[in-house]
Chains A and B, each alone.
Chain A
Amino acid sequence: MKKTILALTILATFFLTCACAFNENNDSSFESTCSFTISCESLLNNDELPEEKSSLVPDDGIIFSSDKVGFSEGESAFDVLKRICLEEKIHFEFSETVGLGSMYIEGIGNIYSFDAGELSGWLYKVNKIIPSVSSSDYILSENDEVLFFYTCDMGAELGF
């Protein structure tokens, strides 16, 4: 019995140390800037979203918006999104697609994919075009216009 308790304590401490604080380097010396928006406007008049989650949608549907977001050379759209969410304390969950190494965004601000129907989820646009690669593979360039948006119909209602 003592051995079991000891093993469990070790296991618990191991997992808890895994969860130790994420250290980000707070270098504000970024070379380039872009405009960045996270929006869930499609959820403003949506009936499919469960009741307990409707309070999460802001009144104008914009979770985050800024004209000038700094980023350094070679950073992808996903990296910038992750940094913004950490800085602004917006809830954010992603998972890595095994084999491809690309990131899948499961939820931003506790609004998850499949919350508003089978075809709902997060998509992104750069300069009003949906790129054909994952956001973690898209390298940003100067003055890009990045928009992460929630869709309820695989992007069809937004003309994709």
Chain B
Amino acid sequence: MNKTYFDKLAPLSEFLYFFFVIINLIFTYNPILTFICFVSSFLLSVQTTSFKNTVKITALISVVIILGAIINPLFNHEGATVLTYFRNGNPLTLESIIFGICSGFLTGALLLSFSCFTKIFTSDKALYLVGNITPSVSMIFSMTLRFVPLFFKRAKDIFSSRRYICPENRNASFVNKIKFSVKNLDILITRCLEDSLTTALSMKAKGFGCAKRTFYAKYLFLKRDIGVSLFITVIGNICVCFNFSESINTIFYPLFSIELAGTDSITAYICYLLLCFTPIILNTKEEVKWHFLKSKI
């Protein structure tokens, strides 16, 4: 994976970015904020991973949106615009469909930004940020986070190697296939248990748990990190203030209405837009700069 500029910033500014983006999104339920977050997370995901990968995630997320649009009107019949009636006599309203789509989009935007979060904010960064405050908890946390991809990788290894050891299994019956998979799982768990024992012994030998330990961190906190962190904090706090002053409240029932005009709401939207697009602007700026430097040589 090619590291972007935002990836190389100090972990604190990255954490602040995701914290403010997600906090502002959850507490408003505003479709415009949701849309901004969705677009920015999509672009950030394209920059950090690849376009193909992002489209794959987005296709999965669109299922959530469609499900939201279908399921909400089945159970919620509030709203002034009655489209038609269900067979039992309850109405199907436009507002409930809109609410379903909006909540689906909100879930999708959250999933997208969390997928970026896991790609950018890796476990070693988390360990670096909170390692001094709660060493053991952050240690356990980062180890658990590491275990999920590790499990998948090992399972893949075991499965592919076992398939070549017993090739007659390809056309085996259903019961035999299940037996094969259960054996795979058995091997996987045994291997992981053994490995964790080795890890524990090695950690003990290196002196884990002794008092007064220092640890090496490869992250720096430079002037640019101070600038970015300050910018994100200030603009994020402005957004939070607007949220709590209820100037960008959305009313879903009985009639759908969003606050569009008005200086308060427009300022809030622009602030959130700036907050969301900070890493994308930084990355693009860096890429453009690099491009020009390269062409000169």
Whether the Cβ atoms of B91 and A92 lie closer than 8 Å is: yes
- Interface positions, chain B 31-64, Cβ under 8 Å from A, are 59, 63
Whether the Cβ atoms of B92 and A93 lie closer than 8 Å is: no
Interface centre among A8, A22, A53 (most CB of B within 10 A): A22
Instruction: Quote the shortest CB–CB distance from B79 to chain A (angstroms).
Output: 7
Known: A86-B85, A110-B254. A94 touches B90 (CB 8 A): yes
Whether the Cβ atoms of B74 and A15 lie closer than 8 Å is: yes
Whether the Cβ atoms of A21 and B84 lie closer than 8 Å is: yes
Write out, one digit per residue, whether chain B residues 54-92 have a CB within 8 A of any chain A CB (1) or not (0): 000001000100100010011001111010111111111
Whether the Cβ atoms of A19 and B84 lie closer than 8 Å is: yes
CA of A21 to CA of B85, assembled, Å:
5
Whether the Cβ atoms of A1 and B59 lie closer than 8 Å is: yes
CA of A4 to CA of B67, assembled, Å:
13
Is B255's beta carbon under 8 Å from chain A? yes
Contacts of B79 in A (CB 8 A): 91, 110
Is B253's beta carbon under 8 Å from chain A? yes
CA of A1 to CA of B63, assembled, Å:
12
**Interface majority SS on A: helix, strand, loop or mixed?**
mixed
Interface centre among A93, A94, A112 (most CB of B within 10 A): A93
Contacts of A133 in B (CB 8 A): none
CA of A89 to CA of B83, assembled, Å:
11
Instruction: Quote the shortest CB–CB distance from B89 to chain A (angstroms).
Output: 5
Q: Of B59, B70, B89, B257, which one neighbours A15 at CB under 8 angstroms? A: B70
Contacts of B66 in A (CB 8 A): 8, 12
Whether the Cβ atoms of A8 and B63 lie closer than 8 Å is: yes
Instruction: Quote the shortest CB–CB distance from A54 to chain B (angstroms).
Output: 11
CA of A153 to CA of B206, assembled, Å:
68
CA of A55 to CA of B78, assembled, Å:
15
Contacts of A125 in B (CB 8 A): none
Whether the Cβ atoms of A110 and B84 lie closer than 8 Å is: no
- Size range of the interface on B? 20 to 34
Is B187's beta carbon under 8 Å from chain A? no
Write out, one digit per residue, whether chain A residues 11-23 have a CB within 8 A of any chain B CB (1) or not (0): 1100100111110
- Size range of the interface on A? 20 to 34
- Interface positions, chain A 56-106, Cβ under 8 Å from B, are 56, 82, 86, 89, 91-94, 106
Is B230's beta carbon under 8 Å from chain A? no
Whether the Cβ atoms of B70 and A11 lie closer than 8 Å is: yes
In the complex, which residue of chain A has the Cβ closest to the Cβ of B63?
Answer: A8
Whether the Cβ atoms of B251 and A22 lie closer than 8 Å is: no
Whether the Cβ atoms of B87 and A18 lie closer than 8 Å is: yes
Instruction: Quote the shortest CB–CB distance from B96 to chain A (angstroms).
Output: 10
Is A52's beta carbon under 8 Å from chain B? yes
Whether the Cβ atoms of A107 and B78 lie closer than 8 Å is: yes
- Interface positions, chain A 20-67, Cβ under 8 Å from B, are 20-22, 52-53, 56
Whether the Cβ atoms of B70 and A20 lie closer than 8 Å is: no
Whether the Cβ atoms of B254 and A22 lie closer than 8 Å is: no
Contacts of A92 in B (CB 8 A): 89-91
Q: Of B78, B89, B255, which one neighbours A22 at CB under 8 angstroms? A: B89
In the complex, which residue of chain B has the Cβ closest to the Cβ of A12?
Answer: B70
CA of A18 to CA of B90, assembled, Å:
11
CA of A148 to CA of B70, assembled, Å:
32
Q: Of A11, A53, A93, which one neighbours B91 at CB under 8 angstroms? A: A93
CA of A56 to CA of B254, assembled, Å:
9
Instruction: Quote the shortest CB–CB distance from B104 to chain A (angstroms).
Output: 13
In the complex, which residue of chain B has the Cβ closest to the Cβ of A51?
Answer: B251
Contacts of A15 in B (CB 8 A): 70, 74
Residue positions of A touching B, CB distance < 8 A: 1, 4, 8, 11-12, 15, 18-22, 52-53, 56, 82, 86, 89, 91-94, 106-107, 110, 112
14 A-B contact pairs sorted by A residue (CB < 8 Å): A4-B63, A8-B63, A12-B70, A15-B70, A19-B73, A52-B254, A53-B253, A56-B254, A91-B91, A91-B93, A107-B78, A110-B78, A110-B80, A112-B78
10 shortest A-B CB distances, which residue pairs? A22-B85, A110-B254, A93-B77, A19-B92, A52-B251, A15-B70, A21-B84, A82-B89, A19-B86, A93-B90
Residue positions of B touching A, CB distance < 8 A: 59, 63, 66, 70, 73-74, 77-80, 82, 84-93, 251, 253-255, 257
